[in-house]
Amino acid sequence: MVEFIDILNLVILSISLILIIVAVILLILNFLANKHIHMLYLMIAWISLLINNIFYMISYVFLYSNTLAFIDNFFAIFGSLFIVIFGESISRKTPSIKKLIWFSIFIGLYSYSSFLNYIIYPLASIPENIVALNTTIQVYSFLILMLTGSFLMPFYLFKIYRFAPRKLKNDTFISFIGGIVFGIIAPILLISLREASTLFILSSSVGMLIIVSAIFIKNPKLAFILPFKVMRLSVIYSDRGTLLFSHNWKSGREIKGDDLFSAMFQGIIMILRESLGKGDLQEINLEKAIVIAHKSTQFPLVYILIATSTSKSLKNGLNMFVKRFETKFNHEIDKAIISGRVLPASEIISDTFSFLPD
């Protein structure tokens, strides 16, 4: 006779899988619509955790086996890895080498010990103390990898909440709560119950759906929020240094002299192009700031963005501005270059950089 607790666990597992599937579908639709690379990383992480839960459900309903456990755990690790890659893609220019080394070491330990446990030990006579030691290495390396990804998710979401503009604080706070449910409450349940229980899986799935729906679907631009300050964005006619558009954020109000600014960069670009012949300027690193230069492929324009630091996400934001600017003023840029008229692009700034804390 089927016990009530088994039926309850199956119901909880089914609900959990439905929640994760909804979150994955929302991510896929969002990625297809916006093509944001960080959404791809998060989508891979969520799909990995979905597969992980499917294998867990199979082993729970039918029969537990070492092979299922091996596959199950590897997808959990894979999901954790891509959570880290996701977080690094929205908060750094390049992934942290330390985090990648950390993961590589423990993935190696887990892979080696799992191979011994599932392939070698069943076929060979091994002393019990060696088996116990290897099992301990396998369990702890798996837990460290999984908890690393789990704990980093609320950390990344807290950074987004901290730097979000006031009008978006509510959504980022809800997402942060989802991160706590996914990355803190769920692991506490796992550790306290000493097994991957249905309550642990339900908590993870609820957190995953909240994270996705509250921020990355409703306000996908919030993923571009980073712990830096953006000072100025200027559009310059590269041949003469004519300024076609300029916008200062609050952190860049001390930057004065639009004409001097544009003439200076026009001179730098020409000098480097003529004297070095190594291509166009892309970045200039200063002690407390970085200058990002984006050369247009359609017009003789250079887009100059000044910030305290950079990342792939910030460059993606600049690319979006460039596309919107050149689409809107496609038939006006040449006239503006001749007349020296500044183009009204403040609305594009509001749309493409609305995620900035200013």
Secondary structure (3-state) at 311: coil
* Model pLDDT for residues 45-63, shown as the tens digit of each residue: 999 989 988 888 887 777 7
Better-scored residue on pLDDT, 235 or 220: 235
Segment 179-206 mean pLDDT:
84
- The pLDDT value recorded for residue 266 is 63
pLDDT above 50 (res 318): yes
DSSP 109-130: HHHHHHHIIIIIGGGS---HHH
Calpha distance 317→237 (Å, rounded):
21
Amino acid identity for residue 194 in this structure: R
> Which are the contacts of 5, defined by CB distance < 8 A and separation ≥ 6?
none
CATH number of 230-352: 3.30.450.70
Count of beta carbons in the 10 Å neighbourhood of residue 3: 8
Q: Return the sign of the alpha-carbon dihedral for residues 202, 208, 210, 213.
A: negative
- The pLDDT value recorded for residue 47 is 92
Q: The tokens 């000098």 sit on which residue?
A: 271
| Burial (Cβ within 10 Å: 0-12, 13-18, ≥19) of residue 58 | middle
Helix pair angle (198-211, 37-61), 10° resolution: 160
Give the CA distances from residue 172 to residues 20, 57, 185, 216, 358, in Å, rounded to whole numbers and listed in that order: 20, 32, 18, 10, 16
Q: Check: CB of residue 313 under 8 Å from CB of residue 89.
A: yes
- The pLDDT value recorded for residue 290 is 82
Average pLDDT, the chain: 79
Residue 119 tokens read as 């392939």
> Which are the contacts of 57, defined by CB distance < 8 A and separation ≥ 6?
13, 17
Give the model's confidence band at 180: pLDDT under 50 very low, under 70 low, under 90 confident, else very high.
Answer: very high
- Please give the DSSP secondary-structure letter assigned to residue 291: E
Give the CA distances from residue 146 to residues 13, 152, 186, in Å, rounded to whole numbers and listed in that order: 20, 10, 11
Segment 89-97 mean pLDDT:
73
Query: What are the boundaries of each domain within the chain?
Result: 4-223, 230-352
Count of beta carbons in the 10 Å neighbourhood of residue 231: 21
Segment 229-246 mean pLDDT:
80
